[in-house]
Amino acid sequence: MAKITMISGPNLNLLGKREPAIYGNLTLDDIQKNIMHLFGKDHEINHFQSNHEGAIIDALHDAAIWADGIVINAGAYTHTSIAIRDAISSTGLPCAEIHLSNVYARENFRHTSLIAPVCIGQISGFGAHSYELGIHALLNYLSRN
Protein backbone atom coordinates (compact mmCIF):
# COMPACT_ATOMS: atom_id res chain seq x y z
CA MET A 1 0.00 0.00 0.00
CA ALA A 2 1.36 3.40 -1.00
CA LYS A 3 0.45 6.75 0.52
CA ILE A 4 -0.04 9.34 -2.18
CA THR A 5 -1.01 12.97 -2.07
CA MET A 6 -2.71 14.31 -5.19
CA ILE A 7 -2.45 18.09 -5.40
CA SER A 8 -4.39 20.32 -7.80
CA GLY A 9 -3.57 23.99 -8.12
CA PRO A 10 -5.35 27.20 -9.10
CA ASN A 11 -8.57 27.20 -11.11
CA LEU A 12 -8.79 23.41 -11.14
CA ASN A 13 -11.74 23.70 -8.74
CA LEU A 14 -13.58 25.02 -11.82
CA LEU A 15 -13.09 21.87 -13.90
CA GLY A 16 -16.30 20.93 -15.68
CA LYS A 17 -17.22 24.60 -16.16
CA ARG A 18 -13.84 26.02 -17.14
CA GLU A 19 -13.03 26.01 -20.90
CA PRO A 20 -14.45 22.48 -21.42
CA ALA A 21 -13.03 22.35 -24.95
CA ILE A 22 -9.56 22.37 -23.35
CA TYR A 23 -10.11 20.74 -19.96
CA GLY A 24 -13.13 18.47 -20.55
CA ASN A 25 -16.49 18.12 -18.84
CA LEU A 26 -15.54 16.22 -15.71
CA THR A 27 -15.34 18.06 -12.40
CA LEU A 28 -12.40 17.65 -10.03
CA ASP A 29 -14.78 15.75 -7.76
CA ASP A 30 -15.56 13.32 -10.64
CA ILE A 31 -11.84 12.85 -11.22
CA GLN A 32 -11.12 12.27 -7.52
CA LYS A 33 -13.99 9.75 -7.24
CA ASN A 34 -12.65 7.88 -10.24
CA ILE A 35 -9.16 7.80 -8.70
CA MET A 36 -10.60 6.45 -5.43
CA HIS A 37 -12.59 3.84 -7.36
CA LEU A 38 -9.45 2.70 -9.20
CA PHE A 39 -6.82 2.97 -6.47
CA GLY A 40 -8.57 3.63 -3.14
CA LYS A 41 -8.88 -0.02 -2.16
CA ASP A 42 -5.16 -0.70 -2.36
CA HIS A 43 -3.66 2.70 -1.58
CA GLU A 44 -4.14 5.66 0.70
CA ILE A 45 -4.78 8.72 -1.46
CA ASN A 46 -5.28 12.20 -0.14
CA HIS A 47 -6.71 14.92 -2.42
CA PHE A 48 -5.93 18.59 -2.02
CA GLN A 49 -6.88 21.57 -4.18
CA SER A 50 -6.06 25.20 -3.59
CA ASN A 51 -5.95 28.43 -5.53
CA HIS A 52 -3.23 29.71 -3.19
CA GLU A 53 0.48 29.17 -3.67
CA GLY A 54 1.26 29.13 0.07
CA ALA A 55 -1.45 26.55 0.79
CA ILE A 56 0.00 24.28 -1.90
CA ILE A 57 3.43 24.69 -0.34
CA ASP A 58 1.99 23.77 3.08
CA ALA A 59 0.35 20.67 1.55
CA LEU A 60 3.72 19.66 0.10
CA HIS A 61 5.36 20.09 3.51
CA ASP A 62 2.62 17.89 5.03
CA ALA A 63 3.20 15.28 2.32
CA ALA A 64 6.83 15.06 3.40
CA ILE A 65 5.57 13.84 6.81
CA TRP A 66 3.14 11.14 5.75
CA ALA A 67 3.25 10.37 2.02
CA ASP A 68 5.37 8.09 -0.16
CA GLY A 69 4.88 10.20 -3.27
CA ILE A 70 3.09 13.11 -4.90
CA VAL A 71 1.03 13.64 -8.04
CA ILE A 72 0.68 17.34 -8.81
CA ASN A 73 -1.17 19.43 -11.33
CA ALA A 74 0.16 22.81 -10.28
CA GLY A 75 -1.95 24.62 -12.91
CA ALA A 76 -0.48 27.99 -13.92
CA TYR A 77 1.96 27.87 -10.98
CA THR A 78 3.78 25.21 -13.01
CA HIS A 79 5.08 28.00 -15.21
CA THR A 80 5.81 30.61 -12.55
CA SER A 81 6.47 29.23 -9.08
CA ILE A 82 10.04 28.73 -7.90
CA ALA A 83 8.54 28.40 -4.40
CA ILE A 84 6.46 25.34 -5.37
CA ARG A 85 9.46 23.85 -7.14
CA ASP A 86 11.57 24.33 -4.00
CA ALA A 87 8.80 22.82 -1.83
CA ILE A 88 8.58 19.72 -4.07
CA SER A 89 12.34 19.37 -3.91
CA SER A 90 12.35 19.84 -0.12
CA THR A 91 10.01 16.85 0.38
CA GLY A 92 12.59 14.45 -1.06
CA LEU A 93 9.61 12.47 -2.41
CA PRO A 94 9.04 11.27 -5.96
CA CYS A 95 6.59 13.61 -7.67
CA ALA A 96 4.72 13.08 -10.94
CA GLU A 97 3.80 16.29 -12.77
CA ILE A 98 0.55 16.12 -14.68
CA HIS A 99 -1.55 18.35 -16.93
CA LEU A 100 -4.94 17.75 -18.47
CA SER A 101 -4.09 19.70 -21.61
CA ASN A 102 -1.08 19.23 -23.86
CA VAL A 103 0.81 22.28 -22.63
CA TYR A 104 3.27 22.02 -25.56
CA ALA A 105 0.46 22.50 -28.09
CA ARG A 106 -0.59 25.75 -26.39
CA GLU A 107 0.88 29.20 -25.73
CA ASN A 108 4.67 29.51 -25.44
CA PHE A 109 4.49 30.51 -21.78
CA ARG A 110 3.04 27.06 -21.02
CA HIS A 111 6.05 25.32 -22.58
CA THR A 112 8.22 26.02 -19.56
CA SER A 113 7.69 24.03 -16.39
CA LEU A 114 9.69 25.25 -13.41
CA ILE A 115 8.74 22.10 -11.52
CA ALA A 116 9.71 19.52 -14.18
CA PRO A 117 13.38 19.30 -13.09
CA VAL A 118 12.35 18.24 -9.57
CA CYS A 119 9.73 15.72 -10.77
CA ILE A 120 10.31 12.12 -11.84
CA GLY A 121 8.40 12.77 -15.07
CA GLN A 122 5.57 14.63 -16.73
CA ILE A 123 2.22 13.57 -18.21
CA SER A 124 0.46 16.13 -20.35
CA GLY A 125 -2.50 16.08 -22.70
CA PHE A 126 -4.68 13.14 -21.74
CA GLY A 127 -7.49 15.10 -20.12
CA ALA A 128 -8.84 13.68 -16.85
CA HIS A 129 -6.99 10.46 -17.69
CA SER A 130 -3.71 12.31 -16.96
CA TYR A 131 -4.46 12.04 -13.23
CA GLU A 132 -4.88 8.27 -13.50
CA LEU A 133 -1.71 7.95 -15.58
CA GLY A 134 0.15 10.04 -13.00
CA ILE A 135 -0.84 7.67 -10.19
CA HIS A 136 0.11 4.63 -12.30
CA ALA A 137 3.49 6.17 -13.11
CA LEU A 138 4.15 7.05 -9.48
CA LEU A 139 3.13 3.57 -8.23
CA ASN A 140 5.35 1.98 -10.82
CA TYR A 141 8.25 4.20 -9.75
CA LEU A 142 7.65 3.40 -6.06
CA SER A 143 7.59 -0.34 -6.76
CA ARG A 144 10.98 -0.10 -8.48
CA ASN A 145 12.75 2.17 -5.97
Task: Enumerate binding residues for ligand DQA (CB under 6 A).
Answer: 11, 73, 75-76, 78, 99-101, 103, 110
Q: Which is nearer to ligand DQA, 107 or 143 (CB)?
A: 107
Tell the smallest beta-carbon distance from residue 133 to ligand DQA (Å): 12
Q: Which is nearer to ligand DQA, 68 or 134 (CB)?
A: 134
Tell the smallest beta-carbon distance from residue 12 to ligand DQA (Å): 6
**Residue 99 among the catalytic residues:** yes
DSSP string, 10-34: TTGGGTTTS-HHHH-S--HHHHHHH
Tell the smallest beta-carbon distance from residue 78 to ligand DQA (Å): 6
SS3 70: strand
Residue from 43, 47, 77, 99 carrying the catalytic annotation: 99
Query: Are the beta carbons of 124 and 98 closer than 8 angstroms?
Result: yes
Integer Cα distance of 62 and 54 in angstroms: 12
SS3 6: strand
